[in-house]
Chains A and B, each alone.
Chain A
């Protein structure tokens, strides 16, 4: 029997305090946390943490802010399960448990460097990608053109609307939005997210695409990108699964042999296009 030299308990959360909570939409709130020990989270864009609401449970939540911004970190959370429902009832100064960060990152320091970047986000898919968008804008000179395509169900469910205005003021940035169903005030584009792809003229040979959205979105977006000669190796996706333990043990997040919590959540499409359960 081999010995466990490591005394670290991989399931033990550390305490963090809620500094700020903001209503984003009817269903989503933004939370800003600081780890009580004073350490910064140490994450990179695309990673997630396990958030504990004591007595309720633990859930995987992606980090929505860039590590370039502050010693605190932000998450945007949809009120959809036991843990997130409890989070939505929180008030400032309340505490949660945090484990992580876990998982792979968007390749902001590798494959994306020097390239034009095409961000394609559906709904709360914008939440983890926002971390990468902020990171890119904080190192603006390291990247080429930036296009952000964002699709929401309806105008009321759009996220980061004020921040998106600021992003749009940056140099060489194109932002296109669409909604599945317009309302009386929406004068913009109506339709699914793929309708935006022909509208941005990106050079497929010099572009890295970053995609995040509901499961159904990936198939259609990838077909459309491939129609425009984007190489599978230039496409990165963040996949959702039930990352229960975050450390590659519990089995809930497996896609065939891959553990999304460790091998993902960010995958290069070339690595998973032949894996049946992935997309």
Chain B
């Protein structure tokens, strides 16, 4: 399908059509901020949002999910979520994070709980229309995205361009196949929007090429910044909680009142929390705040890149906003270390 052009009213009609046909989620306003949630009508969808409180990660790795159940008669039984859904309005940086998490859950030991949800999702990315207060995706090369999604929407001022990339996208966009094609001029306008986003999505600016991060961080294990900043860390895990590339989890059993059946649940965990590396014998292998604080940055900039070849900080700025003591800004940490490594 060629890139289509839809006026706002036609876009709304298409979204309403998608809602009529299936399970549609997207970005909507909640008080002063924005969240991903179920969308009941096109008018609720806010494509002009700046950033959501939580990233769309929760659709593939929910805050809590049942991995399996146990009963005396049936033993252990897998529980895999199998419902198709559509997700509207993912920003490019969040799309990059989803593609990274896809790799991590697929490599070595594929995780069918994550991967099945991912297969069932049709992802509609929309180019950023307003910048959040702490975004630095422009510094991380993630202010725009070229793959991983099914459809890309771009507001070019008087209309939206709808760029369908996959079979799943084709299926979702079937009802707009007769819409007018985007002109050369429209595509040029889209490129202008994207270029502007790459330049403006830099409320904080990384002073070097992010590709150099693994090399720079590999020599920063003993840098004083970890101790200095961790002095202010409450170990609350807010930075983990809002991060689109954090995927650490815990698993716990929930028994029903009759003691007959058990649900084994996966829940989000965070490496900044005090007992994250605690073992049953009482030994905590990352007892000091600074060691946990450091681990998070090295994971984003050195360890995960070593696994998938990509920097696992996508510049959404959510941790900068969420941190109660304002020590979580990755750009400040990375720039300080880079300056000292010269």
The answer to whether B251 and A245 have CB atoms under 8 Å apart is: yes
The answer to whether B250 and A250 have CB atoms under 8 Å apart is: yes
B85 within 8 A of A: no
A161 within 8 A of B: no
Take A55-B70, A242-B279, A250-B249 as given contacts and tell me if A15 and B76 are in contact as well, using a CB distance cutoff of 8 Å.
yes
B308 within 8 A of A: no
Take A1-B102, A6-B110 as given contacts and tell me if A242 and B278 are in contact as well, using a CB distance cutoff of 8 Å.
yes
Interface stretch of the complex, out of B25-33, B133-141, B185-193, B269-277: B269-277
- Residue numbers in B under 8 Å from A4 (CB-CB): 106, 110, 112, 115-116, 119
Least distance between B186 CB and chain A CB atoms (Å): 28
**How many residues of B are in contact with the other chain, CB < 8 A?**
56
B248 within 8 A of A: yes
Main secondary structure of the interface of B (DSSP, over half): mixed
Most chain-A Cβ atoms within 10 A of its Cβ — which of B76, B252, B259? B76
CB-nearest residue of chain B to A1: B118
- Residue numbers in A under 8 Å from B104 (CB-CB): 249
B225 within 8 A of A: no
B329 within 8 A of A: no
CB-nearest residue of chain B to A216: B283
Interface residues of A in 241-263 (CB under 8 A from B): 241-242, 244-245, 247-252, 254-257, 262
The answer to whether A11 and B67 have CB atoms under 8 Å apart is: yes
Least distance between A257 CB and chain B CB atoms (Å): 4
Interface residues of B in 174-198 (CB under 8 A from A): none
The answer to whether B271 and A10 have CB atoms under 8 Å apart is: no
- Residue numbers in B under 8 Å from A277 (CB-CB): 285-286, 291
Least distance between B9 CB and chain A CB atoms (Å): 31
B221 within 8 A of A: yes
- Residue numbers in A under 8 Å from B80 (CB-CB): 9
Interface residues of B in 235-289 (CB under 8 A from A): 247-253, 255, 259, 262, 264, 266, 269, 271, 276-283, 285-286
Least distance between A124 CB and chain B CB atoms (Å): 9
Interface flags, A1-45, vs B, CB<8A=1, else 0: 111101111111111000000000000000000000000000000
B109 within 8 A of A: yes
Main secondary structure of the interface of A (DSSP, over half): loop
CB within 8 A of B303: which of A12, A78, A215, A256? A256
B78 within 8 A of A: yes
The answer to whether A257 and B250 have CB atoms under 8 Å apart is: no
Least distance between B257 CB and chain A CB atoms (Å): 12
Least distance between A63 CB and chain B CB atoms (Å): 17
B298 within 8 A of A: yes
How far, in whole Å, are A252 and B280 apart by their CA atoms in the complex? Answer: 12
B148 within 8 A of A: yes
The answer to whether A241 and B277 have CB atoms under 8 Å apart is: yes
Interface residues of B in 93-141 (CB under 8 A from A): 102, 104-106, 108-113, 115-116, 118-119
The answer to whether A250 and B108 have CB atoms under 8 Å apart is: no
How far, in whole Å, are A133 and B221 apart by their CA atoms in the complex? Answer: 38
CB-nearest residue of chain B to A13: B76
- Residue numbers in A under 8 Å from B255 (CB-CB): 54-55
Interface flags, A35-78, vs B, CB<8A=1, else 0: 00000000000000000101111110000000000000000001
How far, in whole Å, are A154 and B68 apart by their CA atoms in the complex? Answer: 42
**How many residues of A are in contact with the other chain, CB < 8 A?**
48
Take A52-B76, A249-B105 as given contacts and tell me if A1 and B119 are in contact as well, using a CB distance cutoff of 8 Å.
yes
The answer to whether B250 and A244 have CB atoms under 8 Å apart is: yes
Least distance between B71 CB and chain A CB atoms (Å): 9
CB within 8 A of B280: which of A1, A14, A59, A257? A59
CB-nearest residue of chain B to A251: B248
The answer to whether B262 and A84 have CB atoms under 8 Å apart is: no
The answer to whether B253 and A55 have CB atoms under 8 Å apart is: yes
- Residue numbers in A under 8 Å from B276 (CB-CB): 251-252
Take A9-B112, A251-B271 as given contacts and tell me if A57 and B252 are in contact as well, using a CB distance cutoff of 8 Å.
yes
CB within 8 A of B262: which of A11, A55, A254? A55
B75 within 8 A of A: yes
A103 within 8 A of B: no
CB-nearest residue of chain A to B110: A6
Residues of B at the A interface (CB closer than 8 Å) are 67-68, 70, 75-78, 80, 102, 104-106, 108-113, 115-116, 118-119, 148, 221, 247-253, 255, 259, 262, 264, 266, 269, 271, 276-283, 285-286, 291, 295, 298-299, 302-303, 306-307
Given contacts A8-B110, A262-B108, 4 further A-B contacts (CB under 8 A): A54-B253, A54-B255, A58-B264, A277-B285
12 of the cross-chain contacts (CB-CB < 8 Å) are A1-B119, A4-B106, A9-B113, A11-B266, A58-B264, A83-B280, A241-B285, A245-B251, A247-B111, A248-B108, A254-B277, A277-B286
Residues of A at the B interface (CB closer than 8 Å) are 1-4, 6-15, 52, 54-59, 78, 80-84, 97, 214-215, 240-242, 244-245, 247-252, 254-257, 262, 276-277
